[in-house]
Amino acid sequence: MWFRHRRGAAAAALGAVAVMLLPACSAEREESLVDADSLTIGVKDDQPGLGLDVNGELVGFDVDVANYIAAHLGIEDVELVGITSAEREEKLVSGEVDMVVATYSITPARKTEVTFGGPYYVAKQDILVRAEEDAVDGVRDLEGRSVCQGAGSNSAFRITDGLGIDVLELQEAETYSVCIERLSEGSVDAVSTDNLILAGFLAEDPDSFRFVNNPFTDEKYGVGLPHGDVAACEAVNKAVSEMYQDGTAVDLLEEWFGETDLEVVRSVPQFEGCG
């Protein structure tokens, strides 16, 4: 389980004895990641600019945010592991990872299984098409076209179910990197997801794709935590506030997305609350 990393098993045992000696009205403090001495954090490993495996090293905005939060918690022993969109809840709930920082949009359904810190960034859904495609200027232009989304993502469903747009075909791929391959090959007409994700792929190959840059939703990127860990959520929110106040967030956004046309959000996001 996720609380396997608590500091000092011996100290914990002594603490349990001490609790037994306290008056009956005293309550034992619940397990929390703030008591951890190491963390396993799930991040993306196939999304340029956010989380990408480069010669065995994970790099990107989400990776840097994960490391910043861990440092704010005072935890130096941090293992970053690649995770797909479809695996995020499963690996967090099972305890395979302690935290998820992986373009993890906060939704009411996910809140039933996961406690979210943040958001640490509010992205907006947009569209990426091939460079020569000049007939798609907004989401309504996807009517009658094929759209790809990554497994475990809700992006394309916001177009079909949310906006009632009748796309020709909705393809689902294991990851968004596969969607981008299909877009490049011509087997799909568009990829629609968060603009940070699209901007990262565009920066890698600006001559092959065009960023529509006409957003139509807000996507609140949360830090996934074990359900009910309020103390960790509050600590994460403090870390995110500091990250914006000390200029780190803006510096990281500029580093990873500054060469694109993306208009990044520079202010501290409004937090969802930890209760």
Alpha carbon 251 to its chain's center? 18
Residues of the chain with CATH 3.40.190.10: 32-122+219-257, 124-217
Tell me what the pLDDT averaged over the chain comes to. 88
pLDDT > 50? residue 65: yes
Asked if residue 103 has pLDDT above 70, the reply is: yes
Architecture category of domain 32-122+219-257 in CATH:
3-Layer(aba) Sandwich (3.40)
Q: What gap in Å lies between CA 74 and CA 69, rounded to an integer?
A: 9
More confident residue, 76 or 259: 76
Angle made by CA atoms 23, 29, 35, in degrees to the nearest 5:
145
- Per-residue pLDDT of 11-64, as tens digits, reads 343 344 344 444 443 344 478 999 999 999 999 999 999 999 999 999 999 999
Flag whether pLDDT at 234 surpasses 80.
Answer: yes
The answer to whether residues 99 and 3 touch, using CB atoms and an 8 Å cutoff, is no
Give the helix/strand (H/E) hosting 42: strand 38-43
pLDDT at 132: 96
Rounded CA-CA distance 41/51 in Å is: 12
Mean pLDDT in residue range 119-133: 95
**Dihedral sign of CA atoms 241, 122, 265, 87 in order:** positive
CA–CA gap between residue 147 and residue 112 (Å, rounded): 29
Q: What is the reported pTM?
A: 0.82
* Distance between CA atoms of residues 67 and 41, nearest Å: 9
Pairwise pLDDT comparison (33 vs 6), residue with the higher score? 33
Token pair listed for 198:
């699209």
Q: Residue 152 pLDDT more than 90?
A: no
More confident residue, 71 or 2: 71
Q: Which of 253, 275, 16, 254 is nearest to 120 (CA)?
A: 253
Please name the CATH architecture into which domain 124-217 falls. 3-Layer(aba) Sandwich (3.40)
Question: If pLDDT is split at 50, 70 and 90, which confidence band does 168 have?
Answer: very high
The band of 260, judged by pLDDT with boundaries at 50, 70 and 90, is confident
Distance CA 66, CA 185 (A): 33
What value does the mean pLDDT take over residues 159-173? 93
